[in-house]
Amino acid sequence: MATRDTDREQLRPHQGDCFFQAKEKNTIVCLDTGEGKTLIAVRLIEHFLRFHRGKRAVFLVPTLALVDQQADYLRRECLIPTIDGDDDSSVLATPEILLIEGEKQAGWEKLEWQKAIRENDILLGTPAVFLRAATHNFISIDQFCVLVFDECQHAKKNSAMASIMRDAVHPYWKKSKSKLPRILGLTASFAYGGDGDLKGERRNLEALMNSTIICPDVAPRFDEDCFRKIEFGSDEHHSQQHIDEIDTLLEAALRKLGRVTGIKKAVKQCIHVFKELGRESLLFYVQHAIMSQIVDKIANLDSLDDENTQRAAQTLRSRLPDLRCEMQQLDDRLRETFTTDYVPRTPKLQCLLELLQRNFSCHDNDSSYRGMVFVQEISLVSTVAHQINEFFSGSNWLCGVLAGTKAQTKENRKENLECFRKGVARILVSSSAGEEGLDVPECQFVILYSKLPTTKSQIQRIGRVRSANAELYYMENDPNTERRKAAQMAAVARDTSLNLSPEKLKSQSEGMTVVTHVHPYPPGTETSANEGGGIINVFNCKEIFVQYCSRVLAQSINPSMELYDYTTIPGHQQEVLQNVRYPTPEAWKTVRREEMYDYWKGSDVKNVLLQERCKGKSPSEKDEMLFVYVVAVKLRMEGLLDDHNKPSNFAKNYTKSKCPLRSSFAPESIALNRRVTFKAATRNHVASTRGEISLEGSDALFRNYLRTVFDKEFLNTMFDLNEDIPTEDLFHYRLDGRAKPIPAGLFCPTPRGWEEISLEDYRETFENMDLADQLSVTKSRGRTEKMQKAFVYLAVKRLHEFGYLNENYVPILHATALTVTRKSCKLRVEDGTFVPTTIGVPVALSLSEASTPSGIPMSEVMSERVEEESVPALSETMISVSSDEDSRASEVFANPSSIDVDGLEDADMEEAFDQMVPAPTGNGQGGIFDDADDCSSL
């Protein structure tokens, strides 16, 4: 609908200064929240769309929460000439806007992207999808006349915003400066991280954005009286004994739930909730908040058009019944543990509630009075809100919540914001998701409950207050110190002597693009992006490789477990990536380390692995990047990836049948990775099963698995015992109605920890079945032995389902998975019996007891061991992992059959594939790098 210019907001003087500079050159506008940065962007978009007919504008925001807000503002304030008009204001109209939300456009091909560009004037959304479209040759950067980066402080390291500049914009700099779109960055705090080298942070951002910062000197919005420090007394209200007791209960719950990443993180937060809020809040968090958080996460994953995220949703959904049951049991155990010396509320929480009570009493007749409480952890959001609602239960208003896409659906977030704006909710408890760009002009006070991690957080959070009579409360940080830090950042932003000259900007921008004979691929894309098709570089190759494998095999994968082959260097404890295999329509193919060396031979990898983009990456991770890049290039050269870095139709149609995922690196052998060697008779017996197991034959398969996990050398090193672990030692028992011991559970060692086959599992499968019909008639067996064989059968079946046994039921644990299993599944020896120590023996009859209640030795009650040929595991698989590696590896193998996507906001997406495909840690012995700072030539 046409609108006249006079109906719209006018630029203030400081906004006009920023606008005029942005028209002339690339600019980063640094202004406090509420000073009109978005209006400057709108006027610049109008200007360039008016004078560059046929081109489009891009407006990028860091989180999904900001997409709708900025779209509404653009529709309200932005006017552009209609297609058949001139520049007269009478023919101005609201632009057509395409919302790029998360993964909605992730599956688009070039036709869809080009159609969207033809039909819309502005593309608005998060940067990750736009980055893929630009670097995979679906769109070209010269189709746009202006690029706006909202909250551009996120353009750091290898983030999506930063990668757009480096991989999509900078390549055009050498080719044709005239075709480059105008760059506009918006920020209230140009330094994203700590408070270190502010001048260096400014220079880096300007060089990356190829822009000059402008920071007009605007009078501060807040008087000194607005800033108030809240004292809440000592926080020594929890003894270490309390913490240890709760931690023990949490560990027991996690062992039963398994190590699914999303659930594990939520449960682990219980300790933090208890320390920050106290006993009442912990019980609420366990009873309600964890389930709500996981359910919302599943809903968010389900809403995305991506098979990997939907598999992750299904994995979490399958664990919901167990989670509900375990949270109820955890709640019962916590209530039994809590005594009167466990404080119901911490002094800090009590102080917050009393502060709110005083403030609302002073504004009893002011229904417009409302504000926000900021906490750092998602686990505190709904829990603090619950405490506030309970405390003010007699009032006629509510406390709402605001979190990111990890813990709140888009619809629920909108509903809470709307309630806050209307006054139905007069308090809004928010995580960091509410600190950037969110427009809540009704906010009159802010309480910073958690400790502020950075100056940026302080600037962004107090910026939510727009009232002239603002109230800013600090419960952890000192407001004077925080104000001084913010003033220092503003001074650096205003210092024009720090501006980079045009020559310096150009040289630094050019220096960020790598030019070698082998990188990026195809050759020449470093100076003429999109002409040779989609770009492959060391920073996007992992994503390309993982997506290729997942799509052609039609299932999610764990590359470090199923596609990578590691070797332990003699004399060292670290592993080196030795081979990477990839599926093709012919068969599995392998790129070996020698081929990787040959490819990079003569190249200075320092020019490839840019320091700014590789900050925080270990030498082994860099080694993996170079390795996987070679694999991705081979896929493209062999025609298995098309010009857009997508799997070719040929690869999608014919690869899966030729490449069973669980097959070995050594196809001529039944065993995987030289882990296990069979004698001929045993090999023939196992091979003949071909996907079929029986009660009679499962014992040998399970014992072989145990020998692989806990071989004799390992047991001899740990316990000075030269014997195998008897299967019986992993059972626990209970007494039946006749006081006879029967199996109540069997524990299987896996990379995710001890996996229990429970009595419920047994009953579900065998309740209406006569076990004698499934067993050999030549032997007489008692009830206990029959049940034991049934439990073992279920264990083998589950190990196969998890992917730890291949199609022939042979162990396929890589060295890293083997190490994680040994660290996750600890053992102890009691009276000559092995006992799984991480789960204890939670039954009436302990295996450590010498005999049954009737006095019969337990060894006589157990079934007779089945004799089979020895299946030794090679000793060279023994490796050691540090404690940091242990915790990280446990995350890696939490769910080997699916990929967990922990959060979908674009600010988090830069780490997504690092979490999906973690690299081995260590100092890189035997790899390309000898230490983190040495990227020497090959």
**β-pair partners for 835:** 828
Beta-bridge partners for 473:
228, 447
Helix (H, G, I), strand (E, B) or coil at 575: strand
Rounded Cα–Cα distance for residues 560 and 577 (Å): 9
Helix (H, G, I), strand (E, B) or coil at 394: coil
Reduced to 3 states, what is the DSSP secondary structure of residue 754? strand
Complete edge-to-edge strand list for the sheet that includes strand 227-229: 227-229, 471-474, 445-448, 371-374, 425-430, 398-402
* Contact call for residues 28 and 213 (beta carbons, < 8 A): yes
Give me the residue label for tokens 């978009």.
45
What the block records as the tokens of 287 is 């009873």
In angstroms, rounded to a whole number, what is the distance separating the alpha carbons of residues 276 and 349?
7
Other Cβ atoms less than 10 A from the Cβ of 836: the count is 23
Contact (Cβ atoms closer than 8 angstroms) between residue 492 and residue 28: no
Task: Return the structure tokens found at 850.
Answer: 């010498």
Q: Are the beta carbons of 332 and 252 closer than 8 angstroms? A: no
Distance CA(105)–CA(130), nearest Å, equals 9
Give me the DSSP letters along 640-662. Answer: SB-TTSSB-HHHHHHSGGG--TT
Phi, psi (5° rounding) for residue 2? Answer: -70, 145
Dihedral through CA 636, CA 640, CA 642, CA 643, nearest 10? Answer: 10
Which residue, among 938, 209, 214, 213, has the nearest Cα to 512 in the 3D structure? 209
Query: pLDDT by residue (tens digit) across 841-888?
Result: 322 222 233 222 333 333 333 333 323 333 233 222 222 223 333 333
Q: Which amino acid would we find at residue 520?
A: P
Give 72's Cβ-side CA count (13 Å radius): 7
Task: Judge contact between 799 and 750, C-beta under 8 A.
Answer: yes
Q: What pLDDT is attached to residue 900?
A: 34
State the pairing for strand pair 371-374/425-430. Answer: parallel
Which secondary-structure segment (H or E) carries 130? helix 127-135
Instruction: Return the amino acid letter for 273.
Output: V
pLDDT for 770? 63
Listed residue (150, 145, 15, 35) closest to 80, CA to CA = 145
Q: Are 773 and 679 contacting, i.e. CB atoms less than 8 angstroms apart?
A: no
* DSSP state letter for 75: H
CB distance 932 to 578 below 8 Å: no
Q: d(Cα 760, Cα 764) in Å, to the nearest integer? A: 6
Closest CA to 50 of 103, 89, 106, 107: 89
The neighbouring-strand residues paired with 384 are: none
User: Beta strand pairing status for 425-430 and 122-125?
Assistant: unpaired
Q: How far apart are CA 923 and CA 881, in angstroms?
A: 12
Mapped onto helix, strand or coil, the DSSP state of residue 835 is: strand
> Ramachandran region of residue 339, left (φ > 0), alpha (ψ -120 to 50) or beta?
beta
Greatest C-alpha distance within the chain? 102
Q: Which candidate, 865, 917, 895, places its Cα nearest to that of 314?
A: 895
Residue 20 identity (one-letter amino acid):
F
Integer Cα distance of 699 and 19 in angstroms: 76
User: Which pairs count as long-range contacts for 914-917, CB under 8 Å and 24+ apart, including other chains?
Assistant: 914/542, 914/621, 915/891, 916/308, 916/546, 917/542, 917/546, 917/558, 917/559, 917/560
Q: Which two tokens stand for residue 724?
A: 């195998």
pLDDT of residue 122: 96
Break the chain down into helix, strand, coil percent, rounded to 5.
Answer: 45, 15, 40
Pair of tokens at residue 930: 């000898």
d(CA 46, CA 50): 6
What number of other Cβ atoms are within 10 A of residue 49's Cβ?
22
Cis amide prior to 522 (ω within 30 degrees) = yes
Q: How many Å apart are CA 175 and CA 80, to the nearest integer? A: 30
Cβ atoms of 102 and 306 closer than 8 Å? no
Q: What is the pLDDT of residue 662?
A: 53
Beta-strand pair 827-830/833-836:
antiparallel
What pLDDT shows up at residue 769?
65
Average pLDDT per consecutive 10 residues, the chain (938 residues; last block may be shorter): 62 94 94 88 94 92 86 91 56 90 78 93 92 91 94 89 89 67 92 76 90 90 84 70 80 68 77 88 85 78 67 75 80 79 84 92 86 90 92 85 78 86 89 73 86 78 74 89 87 89 71 66 64 84 92 83 80 78 93 92 83 84 93 94 92 89 38 29 38 71 87 72 75 75 87 84 73 56 82 88 80 77 78 57 28 32 31 27 33 32 36 34 41 36
Strands 471-474 and 445-448, bridge-based pairing: parallel
Structure tokens of 751?
């990379």
Task: Find out whether 553 and 560 touch, Cβ atoms under 8 Å.
Answer: no
What element of type H or E holds 356?
A: helix 347-362
- Among 293, 275, 273, residue whose Cα is nearest residue 383: 273
d(CA 386, CA 607): 53
Question: Could you say which DSSP state residue 917 is in?
Answer: S
What backbone phi and psi angles, to 5 degrees, belong to 363? -115, 40
CA atoms within 13 A on the CB side of 840: 10
Phi, psi angle pair for 123, to nearest 5°? -105, 120
How remote is the C-alpha of 115 from its chain's centroid?
A: 32
Q: Which of 396, 433, 395 is nearest to 414 (CA)?
A: 433
